[in-house]
Amino acid sequence: MRLRRVIVIGAAAATAVLATTAAVLPGSPVDRPQPLPAFTSKALAARYATDSRMIARAASTASRAGNTGLASALNGMRRYHFIDFNPRGQGLAAEVIGDLATAKRVAVLVPGSDTSLTTFDSRGTSSPQGGARALAAEAHRLDPGNHLAVIAWLGYNTPGTLSPAVLTSGDAGQGASALRPLVDALARHGYQVSLLCHSYGSVVCGRAAAHLPVTDIAVVGSPGMDVSSVRAMHTTTRVWAGRMDPAFGARIFAAGSGGHSSYFKPGGISLRNLAYIALGDPAAVTR
């Protein structure tokens, strides 16, 4: 297990986040993801309705427990489309933006540290939901007729920014084990899949990458991918990175001059390039 370089983004802020991410069911581990539904309109609609009810029950439980921050976050999630949800531990959630039943391409956003159900959409475009929605909107702006669906994926127990776990790849290994079945299922259905991986999420993607059936892997704000080079990832996919050492072997794309949490900010060159990668248009990506 490799030691990781820590990316510290405001110790006080991170401490505050950690204090507000208590579980709906304290002390319970995160369960495995739900089995994926068939990727048909009918099956997806049924899953969305089921998970909406699960989210509503979890919100009520959190409210009764006095966890108002989590209850508020869950109540905000109820009206959206989820193909996975579990309130145990930090929680699992996978939101679909777009029409997955008719999509041809799917972009999966893999978040980094300090991500839980409470923070799933509390930090604007640096949150999984906010980033995924910004990506979908940018893709529509660039190509209004695109057949892209975006999945905001919180499928693993993310480490805290100030915790010892962020120094190792342990949580990334668990995340990679959860990510592979999702990607395999999407690819078997015929979708062209890309992974957009932020911060510690890039470690997850690095651990999952070997022989994974994806067209592109793009990392931003990356502390490394737990491998020494793209060659060591044992993948034939296009690997992209913003601001990474060229010696690593990734295709470097322009990511602008924003901070660690600005890569999905609307109007930025980073979001535009990530959208082109998600759309499967590598020639349009600027360096």
Is the residue at 114 inside a domain?
yes
pLDDT at 142 over 50: yes
Percent of the chain's residues with pLDDT above 90 = 72
CATH number of the CATH domain containing 80 = 3.40.50.1820
Give the C-alpha separation, 207 to 228, whole Å: 12
What are the backbone angles phi and psi of residue 221, rounded to the nearest 5°? 60, 35
The pLDDT of residue 261: 78
The pLDDT of residue 170: 56
pLDDT confidence bin for 243, thresholds 50/70/90: confident
Specify which of 119-123, 252-256, 283-287 reaches the highest per-range mean pLDDT: 283-287
The pLDDT of residue 27: 45
**3-state SS, one letter per residue, for 67-115:** CHHHHHHHHHHCCCCEEEEECECCCEEEEEECCCCCCCEEEEEECCCCC
Domain count, the chain: 1
Is the residue at 72 inside a domain?
yes
Comparing 55 with 166, the larger pLDDT belongs to: 55
Is the residue at 117 inside a domain?
yes
Give the C-alpha separation, 202 to 14, whole Å: 19
Q: Give the mean model confidence (pLDDT) for residues 66-91.
A: 94
The pLDDT of residue 144: 96
Q: Give the mean model confidence (pLDDT) for residues 30-38.
A: 80
Is the residue at 14 inside a domain?
no
pLDDT per position as a tens digit, 88-114: 888 999 999 999 999 999 999 999 988
Contacts of 166 (CB under 8 A, 6+ apart): 4, 6, 113, 159, 160, 200
Q: Give the mean model confidence (pLDDT) for residues 159-184.
A: 73
Which range marks the domain in which residue 138 is found? 31-280
